[in-house]
DNA sequence: GTAATAGTGTCTTTCAGACATTATGTC
DNA sequence: GACATAATGTCTGAAAGACACTATTAC
């Protein structure tokens, strides 16, 4: 039996919502190959490290953030023979959905790191096959908002219904009816729980604050392609 | 930077419906480690092979079946440091949903290979962490039947609505109302297309034959946990 | 007061689930 | 004829989308 000896890396698709846009964390590569190009953060898996451990370590190194702050899951694995000029490198990609962090990009060991709106990332701009990995991560996130309560991972510990609606509208690039959205979110079992507090964002009536509920699946789901209001 | 040099394998969760039960293909290991134990089919990725290619090759070797016959997708990757006593082995698992094959388990290079009802596989019976991989594959299959038309992957090229219903009932371990199921399946856009032919299974009115439609997502989805009748 | 946002209630349509009824075959 | 399965139709209740209306703040 012919064994193939390869290197294994983890790459991170880190998504957050900043300034009203879905953004991904990219790093500028300090060393060849693809030196100077933007890429997903990531690195080699250490000899005695589990894959998720390696991804969590990279997340801490790149953002200074605890992986438990948002949501974290394995995305997919990419191992085409020619994807890395250094040789056979198989990468296990992880997807994280994070709240807008107070101190992002701290302690990064890359030449530069920045949040970039995903719509501004040009096709072919990223190193390796990171274009495709990022695209797969975005699509996974979009799909998961429909039937899981993961939109709350983009929010801080306490948030309003309007905050949560903004998450959906930003990720899906749609408008949702605020009144029907409120009814669905507060009606779905275990989606959100009131904290009792309220907050005033700009003008208007104070909004109730909520925290994440215990549900892991949404019943019924919030569907993406429902007819948008006014169209 | 410390690189970890590891071996990479692919493992296959092959699911089909035989004799009214959801079954998985297992092989009996002919060599250590875990010699004589049941395991998922799989093997090492060749030096110039993409991951999906390696999985498709193993599928052909183990079952003699073309991967295009059913459905084929990457499942997940498992790389805990101690999962293989031979050293660091990361495995990329693939999931295939296959119709009941006329010549299963042909050309297998394992000591033995057999379809086994998934409910008869004891916890801890399988080698490595294949218990968990199989469980993840089954759960993925169950979930995907809800919002994709992949149940047709378990059927031959032409099938009846009752055949398709049996797939759902077997995978989900439920009963579905034949009349409502018929209405939903024939009403969902692109799920199935009539071939014009009919067939008589046992007694009763001849059933129309259908083939798979072009849809890749089901709108609306067929939900598993819908309120059970009379409760 | 006006403007703005939060939240509730109501109406209509659509669709899921329950189940009667008809259609077409074997025996 | 009886019996079995396939397919269609009808009824009811739940939920989605549209949108009127009330509540509570800033100005």
Chain B residues touching A48 at Cβ < 8 A: 81
pLDDT exceeds cutoff 60 at B126? yes
Chain A residues touching B221 at Cβ < 8 A: 221
Residue B138: phi and psi, rounded to 5, are: -65, -45
* Residue B118 sits in the same domain as residue B188: no
* Predicted pLDDT of residue A64: 81
Cα gap A7→A15, rounded to integer Å: 26
Cα gap B126→B115, rounded to integer Å: 14
pLDDT in tens, B7-61: 999 999 999 999 999 999 999 998 889 999 999 999 999 999 999 999 999 999 8
* Residue B62 sits in the same domain as residue B161: no
More confident residue, A64 or B108: A64
B227 lies in some domain: no
A130 lies in some domain: yes
Cβ–Cβ contact B202 with A under 8 A: no
pLDDT in tens, A171-202: 999 999 999 999 999 999 899 999 999 999 88
pLDDT in tens, B183-204: 999 999 899 999 999 999 888 8
A208 lies in some domain: yes
* Residue A139 sits in the same domain as residue A207: no
**Count of domains observed in chain A:** 2
In this structure, what CATH number is given to the domain that contains residue B208? 1.10.10.10
Chain B residues touching A41 at Cβ < 8 A: none
Give the CA-to-C1' distance from B148 to C15 in angstroms: 19
Domain boundary among A123, A145, A167: A145
* Residue A140 sits in the same domain as residue A172: no
* Beta-bridge partners for A90: A8
Give the CA-to-C1' distance from A102 to C5 in angstroms: 26
Cβ–Cβ contact B217 with A under 8 A: no
In this structure, what CATH number is given to the domain that contains residue B53? 3.90.79.10
B174 touches strand C (CB under 7 A): no
Peptide bond into A100 cis (omega under 30): no
A115 lies in some domain: yes
What does the radius of gyration of chain A's CA atoms come to, in whole angstroms? Answer: 19
Domain boundary among B145, B164, B180: B145
Helix (H/G/I), strand (E/B), else coil: B3: coil
Q: Which residue is nearest to nucleotide C19 (CA to C1')?
A: B179
B228 touches strand C (CB under 7 A): yes
Cα gap A31→A40, rounded to integer Å: 14
Domain boundary among B119, B145, B171: B145
Per-window interface: A 56-95 vs B, CB < 8 A: 74, 76-81, 88, 90, 92
B226 lies in some domain: no
Q: At what angle do helices B161-172 and B130-147 cross, to 10 degrees?
A: 140
B229 lies in some domain: no
Give the CA-to-C1' distance from A24 to C13 in angstroms: 40
* Residue A86 sits in the same domain as residue A188: no
Q: What mean pLDDT is predicted for residues B197-221? A: 90
pLDDT category of residue A156 using cuts at 50, 70 and 90: very high
Tokens describing residue B63: 């079952």
* Residue B132 sits in the same domain as residue B48: yes
Instruction: List the single residue in A with minimal CA-CA distance to B83.
Output: A50
Determine the Cα angle at B132 with ends B130 and B133, to 5°: 60
Enumerate long-range contacts of A168-174, CB under 8 Å, 24 or more apart: A168/A222, A170/A17, A170/A20, A170/A21, A170/A22, A171/A17, A171/A22, A171/A141, A171/A142, A171/A145, A172/A142, A172/A145, A172/A224, A174/A224, A174/A228
Q: Comparing C-alpha atoms, which of A93, A89, A86 is closest to residue A35? A: A86
Q: Could you please report the per-residue DSSP string of B100-154? A: --SSTTTT--SSEEEEEEGGGSPTT-BSTTHHHHHHHHHHHHHHHHHHSSGGGGG
* Residue B127 sits in the same domain as residue B39: yes
Tokens describing residue B86: 């031979």
Nucleotides, chain D, CB distance < 7 Å = 3-10, 15-21, 23-27
Q: In the complex, which nucleotide's C1' lies nearest to the CA atom of residue A162?
A: C6
A221 lies in some domain: no
* Residue A70 sits in the same domain as residue A133: yes
* Residue B161 sits in the same domain as residue B110: no
Separation in Å, CA of B223 to nearest CA in chain A: 10
Look-up of token digits 């992957």 = B153
A217 lies in some domain: no
Domain that holds residue A171: 148-212
pLDDT exceeds cutoff 60 at B230? no
* Residue B103 sits in the same domain as residue B155: no
* Residue A120 sits in the same domain as residue A11: yes
A162 touches strand C (CB under 7 A): yes
* Residue A131 sits in the same domain as residue A192: no
């Amino acid at each position: 039996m012919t064994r193939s000896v390869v290197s294994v890396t983890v790459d991170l698709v880190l998504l957050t919502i900043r300034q009203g846009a879905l953004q991904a964390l990219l790093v500028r590569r300090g060393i060849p190959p693809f030196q100077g190009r933007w890429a997903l953060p990531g690195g080699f898996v250490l000899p005695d490290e589990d894959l998720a451990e390696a991804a969590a370590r990279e997340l801490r190194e790149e953002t200074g953030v605890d992986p438990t702050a948002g949501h974290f899951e394995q995305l997919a694995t990419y191992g085409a023979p020619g994807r890395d000029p250094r040789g056979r490198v198989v990468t296990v990609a992880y997807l994280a959905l994070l709240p807008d962090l107070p101190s992002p990009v701290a302690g990064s060991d890359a030449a530069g790191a920045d949040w970039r709106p995903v719509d501004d990332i040009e096709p072919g701009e990223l190193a390796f096959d990171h274009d495709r990995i990022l695209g797969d991560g975005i699509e996974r996130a979009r799909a998961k908002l429909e039937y899981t309560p993961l939109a709350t991972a983009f929010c801080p510990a306490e948030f309003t219904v309007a905050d949560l609606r903004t998450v959906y509208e930003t990720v899906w690039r749609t408008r949702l009816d605020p009144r029907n959205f409120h009814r669905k979110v507060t009606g779905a079992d275990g989606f959100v729980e009131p904290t009792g507090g309220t907050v005033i964002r700009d003008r208007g009536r104070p909004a109730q604050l909520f925290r994440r509920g215990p549900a892991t699946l949404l019943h019924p789901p919030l569907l993406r392609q429902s007819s948008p209001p006014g169209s």
